[in-house]
Amino acid sequence: MSKEQAAELSINTIRTLAIDAVQQAKSGHPGTPMALAPLVYTTWNRVMNFDPQDPIWPNRDRFVLSNGHASMLLWSILHLTQVQAVNAEYERLGHPSVTLDDIRRFRQLDSKAPGHPEYHWVSGVETTTGPLGQGVATSVGMAVAQKWLANRYNRPGFDIFDYKIYTVCGDGCMMEGVGSEAASLAAHLGLDNLCWVWDNNHITIEGNTSITFTEDVAARFVAYGWNVLRVGDANDIDSIEHALDIFRQTKGRPTFIVLDSHIGYGSPHKHDTSAAHGEPLGDDEVRLVKRAYGWPEDAKFLVPDGVYDHFAAGIGKRGREARQKWTELFSAYREKYPELATEIEQMQKRELPAGWDRNLPVFSADPKGIAGRDASGKVLNMLAQNIPWFLGGSADLGPSNKTTLTYDGAGDFQPATPGGKNLHYGIREHAMGAIVNGMSLSKLRPFGATFFIFSDYARPAIRLATLMELPVIFAFTHDAMGDGEDGPTHQPVEHLASLRAIPGLVTLRPADANEVVEAYRYVLQLRHQPAVLALSRQVLPTLDRNKYAAASGVSKGAYVLADAPGGKPDVILIASGSEVSLAVEAHEKLRADGIRSRVVSMPSWDIFEHQTQEYRDSVLPLDVLARVAIEQASTFGWERYVGPTGRVIGMHTFGASAPLKELQKKFGFEPYEIVAAAKEQLGRRAA
């Protein structure tokens, strides 16, 4: 078989596996894999430095399929290149990640060929995609990470990190705003390690893009500052390879390749139509397509002789050699730079370096106190000094979020200073979320920040971080009505409830400066969960921990902060964040009135839910039904803790524009309101 014949056979294998899998599943997206098989073939078999034997080799080239609906491209290539499976403990399992059987069971329960690419579920998937635009934006975070890693760890003669990021995307990714945010930042940062290939097929679900999308995309990318190339025929693998070569030689800017393609290539009736996008071709059409490819018409899931060997001789050999060379290089590096090598190894396993929590502040009791955001800023600055690969920033609100790293040498991440630890995402919250994910997928420990209200703008990426089990951190400040005068556009109401509803996301709203410290201490130790911190803008009293319980209770999600003498309360006050000190004030007033109350500080529902039943019952005893919850947020969901007869002092409307004191009065966040609610609760039960 000639080289050309082997290439054609391999490409048609990718195509027909996709066609057969979608046909068998009776659902899926055959058209784009049919069109992009040559691109994926070329990128993997001719260009990428990736060893199928070790899909977590730190210096591998990354491949991101941002048009995740075309997942069969990925399942086919992972299978044909025999990428090996790895588990969550980073152990190699000795079997392929995606088997032919998985492909036969495409989209079925437990198959390693699910509907869309799922990081953590299938080895070799670099990031979860499907929500269009997320993949391209995440790939920018990967490119940022590569630059940072290269700057910190490469030494003369030791290019430990010199990998590239290849991203494939469709019209959807070009239309979604998050892609534009990310593209703009990628160009500003001069990320020449990043290449996006746009599948310019003029087709989306509703038909030809002439009905929706008539801008000049290439001109847009030129304007951003990308190097823009065009390959006029998606079947021309030499031109594709040439364009990718140009990418690798381009310095100072990312590369955007416009690839003109035909969705459903080879299908006599569906070629170039949206009918090829998201449904099986149908048995008759499948036969016609296979005939057009010169394929046996009745063969299903066929991998012809020579195809596995062809990939083994291409990416298999090149990747193995590259990794072996790197492994030798890394051994020599470890000899010469043992500390740096240890860092790299710890980072890869998401471990923390020794002394990571050294010098975290302890705040003494202070009735005036300190704002959550200020306490957070102090902690972030300490963590960033203790953990070399801990870095991040804000979406243009650093001075307000107090997330700026101000210690000597922290530096700004900019094209000329890729070792900086302060990321400036610009006013691009959505891209920030995805970029943070991309950095985390590259094993850095990143954080992002903005006002809590604008967490909405990053929410799709936060959701994906949770789905992917990434330990990213979001420091959101101005957590409630604290920025009073800015008014209801800036006052979160439903945000806590909506984030608490994301399965697996850790949401924390600390009550005072020491709870902020403990919140970070907890979050930093997470290896597979993202966390959101909701921090106050305004000062909060620093509670006297000699009088009240220790802030380390944060690690249980909720804890008894203040109690009736000898325990056995008659009424329980549960609060989070800024409302905890109000609850404490109410508790003292109740005590003066001879009423036995308990204050439960509940910074995190999620963490509390994971404690033993015994612990939860000890905090919220089943026989104490008189309960009041206080939180400056939507009351939604608090019934689960106060029960059907309890009382929730929270928000039922949007806020208003006024000084905080007046808002607290208007909306009932005052100690006497809590006292009244507690007495009413007790009265109901006495009656």
Ligand X SMILES: Cc1ncc(C[n+]2csc(CCOP(=O)(O)OP(=O)(O)O)c2C)c(N)n1
* Residues in contact with ligand X by the rule CB under 6 A: 32, 67, 69-70, 130-132, 170-172, 176, 199, 201, 203-205, 263, 277
- Is 266 exposed, middle or buried (CB count within 10 Å of its CB: 0-12, 13-18, 19+)? buried
Which residue has the CB atom at the shortest distance from ligand X? 170
Minimum distance, C-beta of residue 82 to ligand X, in the bound complex (Å): 26
Count interface residues toward Mg ion (CB under 5 A): 4
Which residue, 71 or 123, is less far from Mg ion as judged by CB? Answer: 71
Which residue, 32 or 394, is less far from Mg ion as judged by CB? Answer: 32
Which residue, 217 or 523, is less far from ligand X as judged by CB? Answer: 217
Q: Where are the beta strands (DSSP E) in 191-345?
A: 194-200, 203-204, 207-208, 227-231, 255-260
DSSP state, 644?
T
127, interface contact from ligand X, Mg ion, none, CB < 5-8 Å by kind? none
279 included as an active-site residue:
no
Minimum distance, C-beta of residue 176 to ligand X, in the bound complex (Å): 6
Does 272 bind Mg ion (CB under 5 A)? Our answer is no
Q: CA-to-CA distance for 431 and 275, rounded, in angstroms?
A: 31
Would you state the structure tokens that stand for residue 397, as one six-digit string? Answer: 């609100």
Could you tell me which stretch among 100-108, 163-171, 468-476, 604-612 binds Mg ion (CB under 5 A)?
163-171
Strand-pair category, 473-477 with 445-451 = parallel
Nearest to 518 by CA among 547, 482, 557: 557
Nearest to 140 by CA among 442, 361, 417: 442
Which residue, 263 or 375, is less far from ligand X as judged by CB? Answer: 263
Minimum distance, C-beta of residue 434 to ligand X, in the bound complex (Å): 12
The b-or-e profile of 15-54 (16+ CB within 10 A means b, else e) is bbbbbbbbbbbeebbbbbbbbbbbbbbbbbbbbbbbbbeb
648, interface contact from Mg ion, ligand X, none, CB < 5-8 Å by kind? none
The string of DSSP letters for 176-227 reads: SHHHHHHHHHHHHTT-TTEEEEEEE-SEETTEEGGGT--S-HHHHHHHHT-E
Q: CA-to-CA distance for 583 and 597, rounded, in angstroms?
A: 10
Minimum distance, C-beta of residue 48 to Mg ion, in the bound complex (Å): 24
Minimum distance, C-beta of residue 213 to ligand X, in the bound complex (Å): 9
67, interface contact from Mg ion, ligand X, none, CB < 5-8 Å by kind? ligand X
Which residue, 263 or 663, is less far from ligand X as judged by CB? Answer: 263
Q: Distance of CA 647 to CAs 397, 625, 687, Å?
A: 36, 10, 17
189, interface contact from ligand X, Mg ion, none, CB < 5-8 Å by kind? none
Query: In Å, how far from its chain's centre is CA 574?
Result: 31
Q: CA-to-CA distance for 19 and 22, rounded, in angstroms?
A: 5
Minimum distance, C-beta of residue 203 to ligand X, in the bound complex (Å): 5
Q: Which residues pair with 165 in a beta bridge?
A: 62, 194
Q: CA-to-CA distance for 405 and 377, rounded, in angstroms?
A: 8
- The residue annotated as part of the active site, out of 176, 429, 518, 673, is 429
Which residue, 205 or 223, is less far from ligand X as judged by CB? Answer: 205
Minimum distance, C-beta of residue 278 to ligand X, in the bound complex (Å): 7
69, interface contact from ligand X, Mg ion, none, CB < 5-8 Å by kind? ligand X
Which residue, 18 or 574, is less far from ligand X as judged by CB? Answer: 18
Which residue, 135 or 557, is less far from ligand X as judged by CB? Answer: 135
Does 671 bind Mg ion (CB under 5 A)? Our answer is no
Contact status, residue 425 vs residue 137, Cβ threshold 8 Å:
no
597, interface contact from ligand X, Mg ion, none, CB < 5-8 Å by kind? none
Contact status, residue 649 vs residue 666, Cβ threshold 8 Å:
no
Q: CA-to-CA distance for 535 and 379, rounded, in angstroms?
A: 13
Which residue, 72 or 582, is less far from Mg ion as judged by CB? Answer: 72
515, interface contact from Mg ion, ligand X, none, CB < 5-8 Å by kind? none
Long-range interactions of 148-152: CB distance < 8 A, separation 24+: 148/391, 148/413, 148/418, 148/419, 148/439, 148/444, 149/442, 149/444, 150/418, 151/418, 151/419, 152/340, 152/388, 152/389, 152/419
| SS3 at position 643 | coil
Minimum distance, C-beta of residue 61 to ligand X, in the bound complex (Å): 23
Which residue, 207 or 304, is less far from ligand X as judged by CB? Answer: 207
Which residue, 211 or 687, is less far from ligand X as judged by CB? Answer: 211
Q: Where are the alpha helices (DSSP H) in 387-526?
A: 398-401, 429-441, 455-468, 495-500, 513-524
Does 171 bind Mg ion (CB under 5 A)? Our answer is yes
Four-point Cα dihedral 423, 426, 431, 433, nearest 10: 50
Minimum distance, C-beta of residue 169 to Mg ion, in the bound complex (Å): 9
Write the interaction track for Mg ion spanning residues 464-483; mark x where CB under 5 A is met and - where it is not: --------------------
471, interface contact from Mg ion, ligand X, none, CB < 5-8 Å by kind? none
132, interface contact from ligand X, Mg ion, none, CB < 5-8 Å by kind? ligand X
Q: CA-to-CA distance for 167 and 202, rounded, in angstroms?
A: 19
The residues in 390-419 that bind Mg ion, with binding defined as CB under 5 A, are none
Strand-pair category, 559-562 with 92-96 = unpaired
Does 132 bind Mg ion (CB under 5 A)? Our answer is no
Could you tell me which stretch among 171-179, 452-460, 472-480, 491-499 binds Mg ion (CB under 5 A)?
171-179
147, interface contact from Mg ion, ligand X, none, CB < 5-8 Å by kind? none
Contact status, residue 595 vs residue 570, Cβ threshold 8 Å:
yes
Minimum distance, C-beta of residue 274 to Mg ion, in the bound complex (Å): 9
Does 275 bind Mg ion (CB under 5 A)? Our answer is no
97: left (phi over 0), alpha (psi -120 to 50) or beta: alpha
The residues in 183-222 that bind Mg ion, with binding defined as CB under 5 A, are 201, 203
The only residue of 33, 114, 130, 170 in contact with Mg ion, by rule CB under 5 A = 170
Instruction: Phi first, then psi: give them for residue 224, nearest 5 degrees.
Output: -65, -30
Minimum distance, C-beta of residue 299 to ligand X, in the bound complex (Å): 25
Does 234 bind Mg ion (CB under 5 A)? Our answer is no
Contact status, residue 371 vs residue 539, Cβ threshold 8 Å:
yes
The residues that touch Mg ion, with contacts defined as CB under 5 A, are 170-171, 201, 203
> Which residues are catalytic, by number?
429
